[in-house]
Amino acid sequence: YMLHVSITPKPRQYIVNDQKYIHLNKLVWKCTSKQISCLGHLDQMQILYEKAFYPKGLPLEYQDAISQLQIDVDSTETPKSPIQCDEQYTIEIADQIYITAKNLFGVSRALATLSQMITESPEQQYAPNQYSIQKSSVADKPVFKYRQLMVDAARHYLPLKTLRRQIEALAISKMNVFHLHLIDTQSSAFKPFTQPADQFVKSGFKYGGISYQFDRQNLLQLIAYAKSIGVFVLLEFDMPGHAKSWRLVNPAIVANCPNAGYSSVNPIVEETFTYIKAFLTDLIYVFTENQLTPMIHLGGDEVDHTCWNEDTEIFNWMRKEGITTSMMWQRFHKKVGEIIETLNPDTVKFYWQESFENDNNMENSVIHSWNEETIVSKAAQRNINVIRSFGWYLDLNQPAEGRYAFQMSWMDFYAVDILANIQPQYQKFVLGGGPCMWGEKVHNGNIDEQIWPRSFAIAEILWSNPPDRTITNELKNRLSDSICQLLNIGIQTGAFRPYEPCPGAPGAR
């Protein structure tokens, strides 16, 4: 008899070596790197993945059973960014479980797969604390290096534990970047330490005298935790648009354009750049303190050109200089780029697609496509790195107008081919992409079910890039099983069809 094994995203190679399966005891973890123990690096992974390994409680001890997990890692040094990270791994199930990986991020991918290989035999389904595993081997690596989820913390305050949950869900679904959108029209979710940006404390959500914002220490710890379970972080400081909340910090740094909703920064006063530099100083600090290359998303979407024209001072300044609003933005973009250069020249800069469409200088940058498909090929043809979120907006009923329920939009997400119409020589510039969870209609109470399990479908596209996108029963079953993975680690995931309870689910008592 062979066990039912359901792995999402699907590995490149899964081979059953023996029809017989073997019982599983509580695993003793061992980790070596260049003959030295690396177990100390795996503390947080062990806490996370053991929840996924043993949903029915810790295993009973059997006589003839697997009881050791041996992990061999080439290097315990953290890769600096996803673009330089080799996540390939192997798993061998024999007399014990063997994992090999190039680095600790690869170990996390292997453990996510292993957690789905640990299952139960038919006679164990009625027995708590009993598990089995098939004698098998896996060799796997992702198609796309960059696989993100964006969460918007500026429309509703999201507690740190909610952000940690999303990072854990990313690890279990083999995604590798948590993109945190920190500032928007409504608020700044971050209060910097460096003056004068410490004044952004005035632009946070407040209630009962409490300011609902993350400080530098919070972000430092969040990035450290993400790194410890194999996930990178991208922090977004959106500008020059969506700047209304900056008025609470200092009205002088925002263009005086009430008709355009005070939507843009004031690019002609030096003070604006003093605040921006101080804010960026703290964002870069939380990466370098964690020995990571800073990854900063500098926004650039939905910039309302009417705003600068409405502010008479800015309008007259542009007329005197003989420049358009578009050229004004190019100057602003250049100036912010120079600030980054002085703070940390290694910083990887990301911009929404409009910044590219405005012909801003995109050297050493990544373009983020969100509202139409051709941006990916346009950027790639100019040898510029690009990621895609177009077609993967979790907050919209698009392209799901024809779907009976929003949960079914995962089928549309699954159909997205991010290499469509891109000639082979340019495909290396398409780093990947991922879904975006904009925050207007989600808060701590419903965010998990809005993101999961639909994002698991996108995780499979980015990891495996399956050539055939037919929605089969096998695929539906695998995605339904992945819901159990999420529940096991404490994600309040949604569902998309009737399905039996998960192993370990509380019964009627």
pLDDT band at 143 (very low <50, low <70, confident <90, very high): very high
User: Which whole number is the average pLDDT over 171-188?
Assistant: 98
Residue 291 near residue 220, CB atoms below 8 Å: no
Paired tokens of 348: 């990887």
- Give me the pLDDT at residue 15, please: 97
Nearest to 139 by CA among 113, 176, 105: 113
Beta strand extents in 353-409 (DSSP E only): 365-369, 385-388
Give one DSSP letter per residue of 192-254, joined into a string: -SSTTGGGGGGGSEEETTEEE-B-HHHHHHHHHHHHHTT-EEEEE---SSS-GGGGGT-GGGB
Percentage of residues of the chain with pLDDT beyond 70: 99
pLDDT tens digits, residue range 450-509?
999 999 999 999 999 999 999 999 999 999 999 999 999 999 999 999 998 998 887 655
Greater pLDDT, 441 or 405 = 441
Nearest to 3 by CA among 17, 19, 14, 15: 19
Q: Cα(331)–Cα(319) distance, rounded to whole angstroms? A: 15
* Domains of the chain as residue ranges with CATH: 13-140 (3.30.379.10), 146-470 (3.20.20.80)
- Count of residues making up the chain: 509
Q: How far apart are the first and last CA of the chain?
A: 33
Residue of 302, 357, 373, 449 with catalytic role = 302
- Give me the pLDDT at residue 241, please: 97
Q: Cα(55)–Cα(483) distance, rounded to whole angstroms? A: 13
- Catalytic-residue membership of 302: yes
- Give me the pLDDT at residue 401, please: 65
Report helix, strand or coil for 149: strand
pLDDT band at 240 (very low <50, low <70, confident <90, very high): very high
Q: Cα(386)–Cα(366) distance, rounded to whole angstroms? A: 5
pLDDT band at 405 (very low <50, low <70, confident <90, very high): confident
- Give me the pLDDT at residue 508, please: 55
